[in-house]
Amino acid sequence: MINPGHSPTAEALVHLSPVHFFQITALSFGLAIIFLIPPFQVPDEADHFERAFHLAEGHFWGEQQDHRLGGVIPESIGQLEAIYLPMKFDYSAKQSRWKYAQAKSIELNSRVKTFADFPNTGLYPFTVYLPQIVAAKISLLLEIKPLYALYLIRCFALLFWVVLISKAIEIMPRHQWAFAFLALLPGSMFVNASASGDVVTNGVAFLAIAFFYRKIIEKEDKLTPKQLLWLALGIAILAWNKFVYAPVALLALLLPKKLFEKPAHRNRYALGLLLLALGIVAAWNSQTSHLFLPKDQYNPLFAGQVTLNEGVDPGAQFLFILENPGQFAKTLNLSFAENAQAISAHYFGKFGWEKNYLPGWTIGLLILATLFLFAQKQPAGLPNKARIVFVSIAALMAIGLATTLYLMWAPVGHPRILSMSGRYFIPVLPLIWLAMPGLFRPAYTRHVVMAVSTLALVIGLFAAFARYY
């Protein structure tokens, strides 16, 4: 019998688990984002879309051709991009019935191919695009129109990410609501409901961190060979996709020795994970480093259309760092200090390219809610030594990200690191948060997460609608 003082909806919300709240919210808002955001209005989405099709046709490596880097893909993809790419930096440009009708009329014609430039994603391995490749392959087999193929790829990517994050929340021994909150931040949702190559990496990073945290905290039954293999696979994917996230493997040093058949096996396993990550990075770099083309060496007929900066030379930049460590340390400090506000805004409330943000008050509310969740104590948290390791790994990842951006996007010797987008730090913040000791007992966690997440995502949809329609 229903209590007349309580509605069925209210009762359902009270008993809603963190996993189910995440799934309902991520799928409902994610699907809305997929069909609301016009094609290629997520950073580098066009290049990721092209690389997914390139891989789906069996091309493991990016290809060099006539001083260009990319690959052979259906020509119709470029026709779709020609309609929507001009919107990304034109804030007066809107989606229209004419654009949509024109885009919808383009047939895939997969046999008619052309060489497309995607130098920034041409070096990425297939593991970056696991769900995207499946959707692209289906599109090729069924000759699905490019516009619908993009929506299909976005849907597959979102579902893949939701499955990984759901599992991560499920295995967290505590902090489940806060973990769901971080995943549902608008800055995260707008990336993970797209064809972006960050989707797989973000999901695997959250899952690996959750698994390590559970085993470190709970000290459960011994690790099974299956669990050890899955964990090694996760670390391998992180190292291959974005090697700066590979330091997550160092968390293996915190696993209780009693979880292994013999205490000595813990250190051997941790060392094995590190060697696996380093081996993958070294092997992949040896096979792809020769493919990189600086902009000044790029075919001048196409150099203006590619996502490359003038004066970039990763090899020369690396030598500059080695020869000028003090100057680079200063560059790191100044770049983080000057970009802290922008990184935060990107992380919490950015959608689309460039200056597309949620209202300032919404970003402020998200930051306050995050600090509120961070400040909550949990019973039997991490020991102090483990907290230091978590923060150190987060710092190492942040420095690695900044260094990589300096190598790939800044001219040699440039005094600042460029393109420090907050989306790169999505897997970093959970490590810092889990290391926080907390100040007060948990209170209103469920209410804060459900209310703030839902409100921010609704505001995000309105902001995106105002920008694009």
Q: What does the pLDDT look like over 386-399, one tens digit per residue?
A: 999 999 999 999 99
- pLDDT value for 331: 96
In a domain, 31, yes or no: no
Contact by Cβ (8 Å): 308, 295: yes
Residue with tokens 């609704």: 458
- pLDDT value for 419: 84
Q: State which amino acid sits at residue 295.
A: K
Looking at the predicted structure, is the pLDDT value of residue 5 above 80? no
> Looking at residues 302-317, what average pLDDT do you find?
87
- pLDDT value for 64: 93
Rg (CA), the chain: 23
Domain count, the chain: 1
Distances (CA, A) of 30 to 22, 26, 365: 11, 5, 21
Is residue 93 classed exposed, middle or buried when 0-12, 13-18 and 19+ CB atoms within 10 A define those classes? middle
pLDDT band at 220 (very low <50, low <70, confident <90, very high): confident
In a domain, 15, yes or no: no
- pLDDT value for 197: 92
H/E stretch holding 168 = helix 146-171
Looking at the predicted structure, is the pLDDT value of residue 131 above 80? yes
Contact by Cβ (8 Å): 158, 25: no
> Looking at residues 303-310, what average pLDDT do you find?
85
Any residues with CB less than 8 A from the CB of 300 and at least 6 apart, and which? none
pLDDT band at 437 (very low <50, low <70, confident <90, very high): confident
Backbone dihedral angles phi then psi of residue 94, each to the nearest 5 degrees: -130, 155
Looking at the predicted structure, is the pLDDT value of residue 2 above 60? no
Is residue 176 classed exposed, middle or buried when 0-12, 13-18 and 19+ CB atoms within 10 A define those classes? buried
Domain holding 426, by residue range, is 41-298+309-468
Question: What is the overall mean pLDDT for the chain?
Answer: 92
Compute the Cα dihedral for 256, 258, 264, 266 and give only its sign.
negative
What are the helix (H) ranges across 39-96? 45-56, 75-84
- pLDDT value for 218: 82
Rounded CA-CA distance 80/376 in Å is 48
Residue with tokens 């020869």: 323
pLDDT band at 12 (very low <50, low <70, confident <90, very high): low
| β-bridge mates for residue 357, sequence order | 350
Chain segment 440-469, per-residue pLDDT in tens: 887 789 999 999 999 999 999 999 999 999
- pLDDT value for 85: 93
> Looking at residues 19-27, what average pLDDT do you find?
98
- pLDDT value for 151: 98
- pLDDT value for 4: 52
- pLDDT value for 246: 93
Record the pTM: 0.93
Distances (CA, A) of 163 to 89, 158, 228, 431: 33, 9, 20, 21
In a domain, 16, yes or no: no
Q: State which amino acid sits at residue 207.
A: L
The gap from C-alpha 302 to its chain's centroid, in whole angstroms, comes to 28
User: Would you state the structure tokens that stand for residue 128, as one six-digit string?
Assistant: 């970056």
Contact by Cβ (8 Å): 425, 398: yes
In a domain, 4, yes or no: no
Rounded CA-CA distance 2/390 in Å is 47
Rounded CA-CA distance 159/233 in Å is 20
- pLDDT value for 124: 94
- pLDDT value for 114: 96
Looking at the predicted structure, is the pLDDT value of residue 9 above 70? no
| β-bridge mates for residue 117, sequence order | 70
Looking at the predicted structure, is the pLDDT value of residue 183 above 80? yes
DSSP reduced 3-state for 461: helix
Rounded CA-CA distance 377/367 in Å is 18
| β-bridge mates for residue 440, sequence order | 376
Chain segment 365-375, per-residue pLDDT in tens: 999 999 999 88
| β-bridge mates for residue 113, sequence order | 74
> Looking at residues 114-123, what average pLDDT do you find?
93
